[in-house]
Structure 1
C-alpha cells in the first residue's frame, strides 16, 4: 500500500460544502475518508465512506481506525459537520441544544483529538481546519444565531489554542469562517434576500469555501488563522 498520497478526513461529507470538498481533494490527488450520518458507499477506491454521527465517540474512533487501516496515515482533517438552527434564543428546546452541541462541539472534540493523536504518532506533522461562521464575529439583526456563536465561536477559540499547543510539533490548526453559501439548503427564492446580508451583495459558492480550505491545507507557514470567506460580513456594513 502506497502512502505517498496525502490522506484527509472530511466530516459532514455527503452534501453541500462537504461533498464539494471530497471532490476537490480527490481532484488534487488526496485519498479521502468521508463521513456523515447519511453518506453512501463510494465506488472510488481512494474514498472510504463511513456513515455515522460524528458526535458519537465510537463513530470518530471508527473513522480514524478504518481510515488508517485502509490508507496507512492521516495528514489532514476538515471539520465540516455542523448544524445551524435559526431560532430565537428563548425558543430553543433542550433537544435542539443537545443536538447542536453534539454535532458542532462533541464532533469537533472527538475527531480532532483522535486525528491529532494519529498525526503525532506518525511524527511528520499534519493539519486541522474547521468550518465555522462569520456570525460569530458579526451578528446580523433578524438572523438569530446564539447557538451558532456558542459552538462555532468555541471552535474559533480552540483553533488558536490548538495552533499554539501543536506549532512546534508541526501540526497546524486553522479555521475558515464562511458567510452564507449557496447550497441545496437555501432555496432559490431566498438567494436575493440572503445575498443582501453581505456587503458584496451576493451569497458565496461552495467553490469559495473549497478554495479557502485547499489554500490553508497547503499554506505551510499559516497556523492559528481564521480565514473569513464571507463577502465582507466580518468587516462590517
Structure 2
C-alpha cells in the first residue's frame, strides 16, 4: 500500500483513527474525514501531522462531502485506490420507542454516507480499472441480541451489507473489490457514548472471551485493501461472536 491513496471517513476517533494510523505508518497516502473539526484536527496532530495525510471536515450524509473527498484525493495524491466507509453512529433504543427522526438520523449518516461516498469514488476507480471499497457493518446484522435493541441503526447497517454485495456484482468487471468488515464489540469511545461503562464486561459475547481492539479492525482493513481476489464478502472480526456461545 505504499503510495496508494486511501480515503477514510469517520477518522477522528476510535476505529477510524486507528485505521488512519495503520495506513499512514505503512506509507499510504491518507485522506481523513470527520464531521467534527476539533476532533479531526486534534487527531491529525496526534498522528504527527504526517506529510502523507490530509483531512477534510464534512458531514458524510451530504452528497457534496463525498465529492469533495474525491477531489481532494485527486488534487493531493492523483488517485483513489481505497475507500473505507467507516463513519457511522450506533445506539440502542427499543423498537416501540423509535421515532421517524431516529430512522432518518441512522439512515442518513450510516447508509447515505456509505452510499454517496462510494458513488463519488467509483467513477475514478473505473478510470483506473482498479479499486477497493471497504464498508463497516456489524455482526449484529446476523446475530440479534434481545438485551441490545437497536433496530434503527441495525436496519441501516443491514442495508450496507446488502449494498456491498450489489456493488461487488456491478463493478467486478472493473476490478473494483467491495467488502464489509463486521466488527464485534471493539474497545472504542463508542461504548461510553452508548452508556456502556465497562466494555470488557461484554467479553463473554465472544468465544475468545475478550472484546476486540481497534487495531484488529485496522489489520483487517489493510488485508482487504491489499487483496486482489476477495469481493462481495462480509468478514466478521468478532472473536467468534456469530459462531457460537460459551455457557
Q: TM-score range by the shorter chain?
A: over 0.9
* Match for residue 100 of structure 1 among 88, 106, 112: 106
Shift of 1:168: 1.6
Larger displacement relative to structure 2 (75-84 or 36-45): 36-45
Does 1:53 pair with 2:51? no
CA RMSD of aligned residues (A): 1.5
Contact kept? 2:31, 2:55, Cα under 8 Å: yes
- What aligned pairs does 1:1-237 form with structure 2 within 5 A after superposition? 5-38=3-36, 39-40=40-41, 42=44, 43-121=49-127, 123-187=128-192, 189-237=197-245
Q: CA deviation at 1:141?
A: 1.8
Task: Please list every run of at least 4 consecutive aligned residues from structure 1 whose deviation after the TM superposition is greater than 3 angstroms.
Answer: none
Q: Distance in 2 between matches of 1:192 and 1:183?
A: 11
TM-score normalised by structure 1 residue count: 0.93
What secondary structure is seen at the aligned counterpart in 1 of 2:208? Answer: coil
How high is the TM-score relative to the length of structure 2?
0.90
2:7–2:31 Cα contact (<8 Å) kept: yes
Residue deviations 1:49-106, cap 9 Å, x none?
0011100111111111122111111000000011101110121232222111111011
Question: Residue deviations 1:127-181, cap 9 Å, x none?
Answer: 0000100000000120112123211111111111111211121110011010010
Deviation of residue 14 (structure 1)? 0.2
In 1, the alpha carbon distance for the partners of 2:135 and 2:69 equals 17
What displacement does 1:189 show? 4.1
For structure 1, the residue ranges without an aligned partner over 5 or more in a row are none
**CA distance in 1: counterparts of 2:60 and 2:197, whole angstroms:** 32
Any unmatched runs of 5+ in structure 2? Answer: none
Greater Cα shift, 186-195 or 161-170: 186-195
Where 1:33 maps in the other structure, the secondary structure is strand
d(CA) in 2 for partners of 1:145, 1:194? 16
Aligned length, in residue pairs: 233
1:192-227 CA-to-partner distances (Å, cap 9, x unmatched) read 322122222211000111111111111111111110
Q: Is this contact kept in 2: 1:135–1:148, CA < 8 A?
A: no
State how far apart, in whole Å, the 1-side matches of 2:129 and 2:92 are: 41
